[in-house]
Amino acid sequence: MTSGMVIIGAGECGVRAAFALRENGHEGSITLIGAEKHLPYERPPLSKDAMISQEHPAPKTIASKDQFLGQNIGFLADTAVTGIDRKAKKVVFANGNSLAYDKVLLATGAVPRALPLAVESRHCAYLRSYDDALAIRARFQPGANIAIIGGGFIGLELAASARKRGASVSVLETQTRVLMRGVPEEIAKIIAARHAKEGVHLRCGIGLSGISDNDACATITLANGESLTADLIVIGIGATPVTALAEAAGLAIGNGIIVNEHLQTDDPAIFAAGDCCDFPLSIYGGRRVRLEAWRNAQEQGTLAARNMLGLAEPHLSVPWFWSDQYDLGLQVAGLADEGSTIIRRDLGDDAFILFHLASDGRLVAASGIGPGNAVARDIRLAEMLIARRAYPDPAHLAASDIKLKSLLAA
């Protein structure tokens, strides 16, 4: 097979990159390599729709076989890449075969961070794949006792899904509150109260000292000496970027695979994008971040493809993510921890947005919560203001009768 574009990782980022190569005029070969047996599928529904659907869930595919064929994109499923030979410019497979490349994109994603206390337990699970989701869903049954370790987005989404399926749920978070990373306390309190209203038992600020098994369940021992039993423990304490291939190939590693503003590693023929990469955000003075977000994976897949074709475009997007918690929709644009002042705008119907201003008055982030998509439009406008590095009048941000669109015009 002649050399061409090789993409390792068939998630949202890798698939978007493959199609973006064609959309941007690449006529040579494109090979997308996935470790799972399934066609590439969306991961956000795994903690929500896949858990609560009445019918047996099927993965929500990103692209069909016909779409791959129609764009002449080779897709290798259930295939493990064991090495990258940079000198020979080829990727090596577990079966000993190899594939030459002109450019490689590493879109290897991230995996759940392991909890050392859980290593020996048969009653612990992590959510990463569709197969994981099926196994967890089967245990979310009426009357089951479910413990979730970790009060981040995945943990809380799973807690909501387990309650909807009739299970009893406890969430254990060692930090002093849920959603400690990237969500203001004012919004986190609303989400915590919503979970409590639904019957979720939240325990924050208490460490864990042990997990032990018996035949039917597991016992979690807390640092204060208390204990609780669970039929299933789901662990959601963050994610670790998949960097082993890059590291073995001698590429620079930080909080992920280190890339420049063009998503290029220190090897000009190798790019990295999505959850696995450590990249600079120009809008925050080149601050290095690693984002685990659906839209970031899509955007970076497209950008990496264009830059693999030599366009040398910088990453300029503002971070954005969302989470659905029962009937509440949460959205955040920008990095809230860049702000030192918070301005609140009430939107009605229990929806509001918090604007985060840097010490010099620049808008650096916006966090919103409300029923359904109540905050979506204003968060989008705030995102545009952040991208423009705007210095809006705080009084205008707080005044709900002054449209954000007018601040953009100003």
Half-sphere exposure (Cβ direction) of 199: Cα atoms closer than 13 Å: 12
Across residues 384-398, what is the average pLDDT?
97
Across residues 49-72, what is the average pLDDT?
94
Ordered domains of the chain (ranges, CATH): 4-111+239-308 (3.50.50.60), 114-235 (3.50.50.60), 327-409 (3.30.390.30)
Could you tell me the two tokens for 287? 């601050």
Instruction: Supply angle C-alpha 77, 269, 257, rounded to 5.
Output: 70
pLDDT tens sequence across 231-270? 999 999 999 999 999 999 999 999 999 999 999 999 999 9
Radius of gyration of the chain (CA): 22
Relative to beta strand 363-371, strand 328-334 is antiparallel
Task: Check residue 3 and give its pLDDT.
Answer: 67
Helices and strands (DSSP H and E) totals, the chain: 11, 26
Question: Measured on CA atoms in the order 183, 230, 222, 201, is the torsion positive or negative?
Answer: positive
Q: How many CB atoms lie within 10 A of CB 287?
A: 12
Across residues 34-50, what is the average pLDDT?
95
Q: What is the Cα–Cα distance from 389 to 316, expressed in whole angstroms?
A: 12
Instruction: Supply angle C-alpha 236, 331, 12, rounded to 5.
Output: 60
Across residues 29-53, what is the average pLDDT?
95
pLDDT tens sequence across 98-155? 999 999 999 999 999 999 999 889 999 999 999 999 999 999 999 999 999 999 999 9
CA distance to 149, 206, 273, 307, per residue, from 10 (Å): 28, 38, 12, 19
Across residues 316-333, what is the average pLDDT?
95
Position 166 pLDDT exceeds 50 = yes
Instruction: Tell which phi-psi region holds residue 182, choosing left (phi > 0), alpha (psi between -120 and 50) or beta.
Output: left
What mean pLDDT, rounded, does the chain reach? 96
Contact 121, 131 (CB under 8 A): no
Across residues 23-40, what is the average pLDDT?
97
Task: Check residue 200 and give its pLDDT.
Answer: 98
Task: Check residue 244 and give its pLDDT.
Answer: 98
Q: Which of 370, 368, 374, 343 is nearest to 358 (CA)?
A: 343
- Give the total residue count for the chain: 410
Could you tell me the two tokens for 116? 């050392």
Contact 3, 89 (CB under 8 A): yes
Across residues 376-400, what is the average pLDDT?
97
Could you tell me the two tokens for 111? 């995996």
DSSP β-bridge partners for residue 170: 147, 201
Please tell me whether residue 360 adopts helix, strand or coil conformation. Answer: coil
Please tell me whether residue 213 adopts helix, strand or coil conformation. Answer: strand
pLDDT tens sequence across 203-215? 999 999 999 998 8
Q: Which of 226, 224, 204 is nearest to 148 (CA)?
A: 204
DSSP β-bridge partners for residue 28: none
Residue carrying structure tokens 């990782």: 9
Position 1 pLDDT exceeds 80 = no
DSSP state of 28: S
Q: What is the Cα–Cα distance from 208 to 214, expressed in whole angstroms?
A: 18
By mean pLDDT, which of 9-13, 61-65, 85-89, 182-186 is the weakest?
A: 182-186
Q: What is the Cα–Cα distance from 229 to 222, expressed in whole angstroms?
A: 11
Instruction: Tell which phi-psi region holds residue 373, choosing left (phi > 0), alpha (psi between -120 and 50) or beta.
Output: alpha
DSSP β-bridge partners for residue 256: 254
Contact 322, 191 (CB under 8 A): no
Position 2 pLDDT exceeds 60 = no
Position 89 pLDDT exceeds 60 = yes
Could you tell me the two tokens for 279? 């990249």
- Name the helix (H) or strand (E) containing 277: strand 277-281
DSSP β-bridge partners for residue 272: 106
pLDDT tens sequence across 283-305? 999 999 999 999 999 999 999 99
Position 383 pLDDT exceeds 90 = yes
